[in-house]
Structure 1
Amino acid sequence: MLRSASRGFGGEEDDCRTTPTSVTPDELWKARYPTDTLDVDHDELLKEVQQRYSAGELVEPTLHELGDLNGKKQELISLLRKTHGSENIDVSAEKDLSNSLKKPNGRFHAVIVGINKYDDPRTTSLKGCVNDALLFRDYLLQDLSVPAGQITTLLSPTGDEHLPFPQDIPVPCNAPTRENILDALYDLYDSPNIKPDDSIIIFYAGHGQSYRAPDAVDQSPPRSNASVEALCPADRNTLKSCSDGTEDIIVDISDREINVILGEIAKKICGNITLILDCCYARSGIRGLGDKELFPFRYCPPILSAVSLMFKAADASGRLPSDRPRTADPNFRANMNSHVLIASAKDYEEALEYKDRKTGVSQGYFTSRFISALRSSTSTTTYRDVVESPELVMPFQTAIVAGRKTARLWFA
């Protein structure tokens, strides 16, 4: 199943690479500490694994298991702090976790989008995007202490026919239509409450699409493989009524339009922007992975004449300054100084989602591991560090980072 990814939204990429071997966590621990009769100390084991991974000695499943264990530990610590108060918790055991990344007074502002169900019957519904969005929202609320009022949540129905929308969604939200997604971004631009030192986080889980760029909008120098990449709103490829009585097709949101909006936000208010995309543009699928059931790949049909229509819609917006860059400009250049992009897969890879057979929960393969990596971060962790962490070594997709990749996480 597809989600979206990289090239149009970013510049140079950094990725994670895998190195196969065959060693289990318990074997690794016993080899390192043969006289220890206690249970595995996963903190020490993680250090050992990181060292061996750097030396090319580590098996990929071990990384996944360690990432899952470490993430569960941080969730338990977070729960204990809330239940018993921080004075009863051994802070040294947390090893400078994500609470060190919290900003005073919760100075984060976020837009979260998760789309399982699309209005167009030709666009395949997904299973795990709403869960991904809710999981990331919980991370913001619990780990970064972001006030709920500073998070805009846009979610589709989950697809559960027994629970009609919005009863199937446990949090207040609006539909992730093209208009609502763009309005949420424009509202960041217009907000009087965002200060220069604040951080803005935008998370998207859903379908992505890649269109071949016509010669008229191809980047210079010309590239035979030039493309325009896009995020797919829930109402894509449906019709909307116009004031003159005609109907227009609702198109995807191009990477250029998003880049222009983020550039204007950075110029006017705040350049501490992180864009996280769990989606992809590839057109093939992979099934079967251990005890995880992979769903059909995330691919949706392209919209005819979409590129010119996307650029026309973007350049017609009246909510940004008239002197902003124009998406249809043949010399358009993406501004990667305005934000950091983290994408779940390269542009030729699938961003997979799966159903865990043990829990029955559907979610993105990237998002759960990404949050585990975030919970293992420290006050000095950079965006590149997160993407290169053991938790994000994945067998079928490669997480990337572009933009200000050496900045500290959340610009702390």
Structure 2
Amino acid sequence: MTVVAFGLSGAASQELPPTGAELTISTSDVSVAEGDSSKTDMNFTVTLSGSPSHEVRVSAEAKSRTATGGYGAGRDFIHYYRFRQVVFPANATGADLSQTVTVSVLGDTVVEEDETLILKLSNLRTNDPRVKFAGGKRKLKATGTIINDDSAPVITTQPAVATEIIVQAEPTPPQYQLQVSEPVRPSTPSGLTVQKDNDTAVISWSSGGSGVGGNCPSTGYLVRVYENSKLGHPEPVAKESEIITGATSWSVSSLSAGVWYTAEVYAFGSACGNYSANRATTRFLTSTSSAGTVDALSPNKLLAPNPVRSLQVNTSTSNQVTINWMKPLNGNSNIRCTYTNSGGNHANTTIGYKYYLENLNTGKMIADVFFTSSEASLSKVIDFSGENLGTGSRLRVTVFAVTYMACDNKWSTGNSFTWRI
């Protein structure tokens, strides 16, 4: 319905928001058998009860409960600790009112209890005021149960038989030297590039080598794409891919025009059952122009702030770590963002920093902090005494430089430092 208001300057029209019955988003619990070795899809169905007048977006996150999420050996499912998006198109009907969120369950032959994980739906975004989570809640949760399908071996006993025991002098035990080495992993992918065509981007890379710490060539890859539109963690705009085999490229579509994205690729090696310790990453900007290589941006495109310098871990214990870094070099003064103040544009220079700390053994995010600073040299103490980390825990800290909040591309590339307690 349109309402027309008349005044001295003529007529103007304004579209009123839709009215009518409430539309609800719901989901339900799911159970799947674990399997012995390969991956099994655990599919959660997310349903919208009616046709929305505007696009609806919901963030979905799979979290550990009694099942353990992660990427290495001994994990029960692939742990996505950053949000994925569930999207219902505007005016959706029929099958478009039902969307699927897939969690990959990792099979094994270990006899164990049934285990559970949680799918959390949150961050509802739409211009249709009728759309709500079921029950009027701010968040929805569903339980995924991984059903154990392994059985214990049958043990048989024999009657006791009398035997003669001969006691001999115990030989001197041999001496052994314990050697601890890093696990064998595939090499980090290299040569990451992005080719764009309107709302689609094709991400390509090279294998990077035969392995680190031993022979473990890459047999697959895990690819993610994130939108860099807000301070805080970038939000994924495409679901994380399944492990890609036999290919070194991946296509993602339905990207927004004029938005910066980050792409990252991990290698997976079936010979060692591990992912690469580090990821290949790059950033790219979408547009409505014709196809072309994203790396060749014209000078009037907004560049990111320069990365921080000289990141290092100064001191580390099982309870806290002190990190130091230097302020980035100033950005190119000819590259401007759209932030205006007192009639002028600000150059794309650093106003603050974002750092986060990860436990690489579990995939858990321990710390996530943003702060503003103009200091040339910075030092931060990160306390994680509540995590009860043991000796040998492997940690990684990543620091980003951040520019003005109104700029489209706020984040620098991240500098990371990995160490072991």
Q: TM-score, normalised by structure 2?
A: 0.19
Rg (Cα) greater in structure: 2
Higher RCO, 1 or 2 (CA under 8 Å, sep at least 6)?
Answer: 1
> Which structure shows the bigger proportion of residues in helix conformation?
1
TM-score, structure 1 as length reference: 0.19
Q: More strand per residue: 1 or 2?
A: 2
